[in-house]
Every structure is written in structure tokens, then in C-alpha cells.
Amino acid sequence: MRLREERTRRGWTLEALSSRCGLSTGFLSQVERGLSTLSIVSLSAICHALELPIADLFSASGPIDRAAPRVIKGVDQLHIQIGSAPIAYRYLSNQLPAGPIEELLIAEFPAAFRQDDSTHEGQELGYVLEGRLTLVVSGDLHRLEVGDSYRISASEPHGYRTDPDGGARVLMAVTQRFIDLPGVRS
């Protein structure tokens, strides 16, 4: 969560945020360090004080930070559970896409598949549902297994490979339409 980043960006101390949201400085400090969870009410109070939508505390939108990891291993993905709510959320990317999601699809890669580098506009996000996939971005190889995810700028040369003995199924979201299906949408 980006609470500390948003607070310090405003030049606020923990005390300043505390006075604006009505939560103790000790509690806010624990939340910033990941030692305490938030209820919806506390999260709402903090976001109201910071004048931010809730989603802004959990993600950074905008252009892809090329210094950030492209591939996020399943164990490193951000898992969020708000308070004692039974729903858990898993962020597959360290940033949300800058534009609206244009297409959400499952790509089914056959065994021994090799797609050479290509480029297109927008961004791609992927989550490996089955199998193993090698993602190649600007010449760098990234081995992905079930539960791993990635986010890339699609303007970077990228391609895909699978093992000779098995393919992969990948849930993909793209911010630029790159497949035109007649009669589906104008």
C-alpha cells in the first residue's frame, strides 16, 4: 500500500494525517509498516483525508515504470485483505494500466510455440493459468509458471515461447485493441 508515499508527498507527518482522519499515529504507523490491517471504515477515513480514491493507495497508474519488475512471481504479488472481510484481492501487476482495458482474453499457446518479437500500442498484462511460458521482452527471457504474472509496454519488442512438451494458457488484458473480429464491435 502506498500510504506512506502519499502522506510524505504532501509533506504531512503521521500526526498531521492522524488529525485529519481521526486515527491514532501509532495505528497509522503500523499500517504503513504492514503490521496492521485496515477496516473499510478506517481505509475510507484515510482516503477522505488524503482526498484520494481508495484504488490510488494500492496502485500507480500511468506509463509503465521500466525500472519496475516486468514479471511478478506468484509469491511476490500483492495480496490484500481489508480488515476481516472474507474477500482477498491479488494484484497481478505493480501498477494498473494507464488506459481502459480494451480486451480481456485467454491466450492458448500450443507446445513448441515460438512467436518472434512484435510490437503494438498499449500495454499487456498476463497471468499464467496453466503450463509454462517464456516471455521475451527486448531480448530478456522471463520464465513464467502457473500463478506468475507480467505487465509490459507493448511498444517494447516482445514474443512468447513454450516448451516442446507442453503449451500454456494465459489470461491476458490489453489496453489497445489488436484483434479485430468482424461483427463483434465497430
CATH code at 150? 2.60.120.10
Structural domain boundaries enclosing 156: 91-174
* Mean pLDDT computed over every residue of the chain: 78
- Residues 18-46: pLDDT tens digits? 999 999 999 898 888 777 777 767 887 88
Is residue 73 in a domain?
Answer: no
For residues 177 and 103, the answer to whether their CB atoms sit within 8 Å is yes
pTM of the model: 0.56
- Residues 97-135: pLDDT tens digits? 555 666 677 888 899 999 888 888 888 889 999 999 999
Tell me, yes or no, whether 115 and 157 share the same domain.
yes
Is residue 145 in a domain?
Answer: yes
Q: For the chain, how many structural domains are there in total?
A: 2
Query: The domain that contains 6 carries what CATH number?
Result: 1.10.260.40
Listed residue (64, 182, 70) closest to 135, CA to CA: 70
